[in-house]
Structure formats: C-alpha cells, structure tokens
C-alpha cells in the first residue's frame, strides 16, 4: 500500500511547469531586448552555466524486502511466533510500506513525500559542429544536485524502518547533442549520454530492541541522461537556453542491514527463522530524477 499523495505530486509537477513557463518568458523577453542578430553559426567551443530545479521520480511500488534465513535470497515474509505477518495490514496496529519518509513509528501516520524540488546547478564545456541547419556536438558537465529518495517499512510493533538514498555530491556527465536551427538565432536539440555520481545510502529505525548492522553499501552509481532543450543567441557570443534532463543512476544493491538479536528475545519476529537475525533492504536499485534548468553559454 502506498501513502504517496496524488495532489502533492500534482503540486510538484505544477511547480516545475511554472519554472518552465517563467524561464521561457524570460528567454523570449531577452531575445527581443537583444535586438536583431545575424544568422548564427553554432560551430565551435563554448562554456556555460545552468541553474534550475530537480525532483526525484515517483516510485509508488517500492518497498522493503527481507531475507529471514540469511541465504542471500530476499522476498521472505517476517512472521510473529503466532504466524502473523509482522508487516501486514490485518492487525489492530497494521504494518505496511510507503515510498517516502515516515512521519512517526506507525503505518497510520503515513509518510511525507520525497518529491521536494531541489536546486540543480551545473557547469559545462562543449563543442558543436554545424552542417546546414543541423548541429552536432558533445559536452562534459559537472553538476551539484541535492536530491533524496526515501522508502519506509512499518511493523505491527509498531516501529518504522527507513532507507534513505541521497545524492549530495558532484555528478559528472558526458553527453552527445543533435540539434536543428530554428530561424536565425535559435537551436532546438536533444541530448543523451552517461552520468556518474556518489550515492549515499543510510538507514534509520525506531526499533530499540534489535541490533542493526550494515552489511553492504555501494557508493558509486552510474547511469544515463536524456533530455531536450531550446537555445537562443542573445548576441553573437552569448546564448540563453531552457533544458530538461532525466537522470537514471544504478545504485546497485545499495544498503543491506542485518537485524540482529540486540536485547530482543528469541521469539522476536526477526529471529524466529534464524537466531542470527534477518537482512533487509529496499527493493529498487534505481535512483532517478527530473531536472529543468536555465542555461547561459559563451561561444568562441
């Protein structure tokens, strides 16, 4: 069961669309203020900066999975000594899962959505070649994006078990670009390539009886980017643009946490199948987010 709010997602999408509309209006206004510019040749090197917003892609179906016998295979059900699903919905204090950050220790309190829009800042260097109306190029980009993705499990104890995936470091990207001129001063393009960044996985729980030990965690994540943009020359050397990018990084197996005995008795649900404990991890290894930026470039 997912507690993510459709109205909240609609509000986030509306916020991104407002940024797009404002940036487009600004680009149009600056184009008119710049006055007449001769037909531009997009060939040559350029350097640029961009600033915008990024939001994690919604994943309503993500949950936490368990390995109760520690055989390396996940998908087991954690059960109480009475055979009840410790994360099931059919008790006085129901358990469950949500793709977000727990507000409290019980399923009924729900989760806050992790679709917060964060600042996306980047610097780039590229080189384009023009053949007729077609423009081909490649660019290297270094960006700073602070996005977080949460997944939470609730047991019937009640207790919350939260996994957090965070990209708060530098991301590097290498992309190709194919574009087509629009009139004398505009360029519409699509872009795509590879990206890599350091992703940090952390764990938090309100359970104070068991012990919790990280077993594995992978920091480096690689993946791809695809997007599109529109760029207009304000002067012979300066261009302003609006760009959308979708980034998908593979975080691998991420963080696996060993839930051990601690001070819990042998009848603890995590200890019944194997007294050494139960492993738990989030189900998705994808870290995906959308970005909308305004770009400013200097051409040489």
Q: What is the pLDDT of residues 56-106, one digit of tens each?
A: 887 777 899 999 999 999 999 999 999 999 999 877 789 999 888 888 998
Asked if residue 175 has pLDDT above 50, the reply is: yes
Average pLDDT, the chain: 86
Domain boundaries, the chain: 6-61+117-148+167-299
- pTM for the full predicted model: 0.81
**C-alpha distances out from residue 146 to 168, 190, 193, 278, 295, Å:** 4, 24, 21, 32, 19
Rounded CA separation 151/166 (Å): 12
Rounded CA separation 275/130 (Å): 67
Rounded CA separation 300/293 (Å): 22
Residue 23: pLDDT band (50, 70, 90) is very low
SS3 per-residue string spanning the chain: CCCCCHHHHHHHHHHHHHHHHHHHHHHHHHHHHHCCCCCCCCCEEEEEEEEEEEEECCCCCCCEEEECCCCCCCCECCECCCCCECCCCCCCCCCEEECCEECCCCHHHCEECCCCCEEEEEEEEEEEEEECCEEEEEEEEEEEECEEEEEEEEECCCEEEEEEEEECCEEEEEEEEEEEEECCCEEEEEEEEEEEEECEEEEEECCCCCEEEEEECCCEEEEEEEEEEEEEECCCCEEEEEEEEEEEEECCCCCEEEEECCCCCCCCCCCCCCCCCEEEEECCCEEEEEEEEEEEEEEC
Q: In what order do the strands lie in the sheet with 96-98?
A: 96-98, 147-155, 159-167, 200-205
Q: What is the pLDDT of residues 123-151, one digit of tens each?
A: 999 999 999 999 999 999 999 998 989 99
Mean pLDDT across 228-254: 93
Residue 221: pLDDT band (50, 70, 90) is very high
- pLDDT of res. 196: 96
Q: Please state whether 71 falls in left (phi above 0), alpha (psi between -120 and 50) or beta.
A: alpha
Q: The domain 6-61+117-148+167-299 is classified under which CATH number: 3.90.850.10, 3.90.550.10, 2.130.10.10, 2.40.160.20? A: 2.40.160.20
The region of weakest confidence among 7-21, 98-112, 230-244, 258-272 is: 7-21
């Amino acid at each position: 069961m997912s507690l993510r709010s459709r109205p909240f997602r609609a509000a986030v999408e509306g916020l991104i669309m407002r940024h797009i509309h404002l940036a487009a209006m600004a680009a149009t206004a600056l184009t008119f203020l710049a006055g007449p510019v001769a037909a531009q040749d997009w060939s040559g090197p350029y350097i640029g900066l961009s600033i915008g917003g990024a939001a994690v892609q919604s994943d309503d179906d993500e949950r936490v999975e368990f390995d109760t016998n520690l055989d390396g295979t996940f998908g087991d059900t954690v059960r109480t000594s009475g055979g009840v699903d410790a994360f099931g919905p059919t008790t006085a204090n129901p358990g469950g899962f949500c793709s977000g950050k727990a507000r409290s220790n019980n399923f009924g309190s729900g989760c806050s959505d992790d679709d917060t829009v964060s600042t996306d800042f980047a610097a780039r260097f590229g080189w384009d070649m023009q053949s007729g109306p077609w423009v081909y190029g490649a660019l290297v980009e270094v960006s700073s994006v602070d996005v977080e993705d949460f997944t939470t499990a609730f047991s019937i104890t009640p207790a919350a078990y939260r996994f957090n995936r965070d990209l708060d470091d530098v991301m590097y990207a290498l992309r190709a670009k194919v574009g087509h001129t629009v009139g004398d001063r505009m360029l519409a393009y699509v872009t795509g390539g590879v990206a890599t960044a350091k992703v940090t996985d952390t764990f938090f729980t309100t359970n104070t009886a068991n012990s919790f030990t990280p077993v594995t965690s992978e920091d480096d994540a690689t993946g791809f980017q695809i997007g599109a943009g529109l760029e207009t020359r304000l002067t012979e050397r300066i261009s302003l643009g609006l760009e959308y990018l979708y980034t998908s990084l593979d975080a691998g197996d991420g963080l696996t946490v060993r839930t051990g005995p601690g001070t819990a008795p042998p009848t603890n649900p995590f200890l019944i199948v194997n007294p050494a404990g139960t492993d738990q991890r989030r189900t998705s290894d994808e870290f995906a987010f959308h970005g909308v930026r305004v770009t400013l470039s200097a051409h040489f």
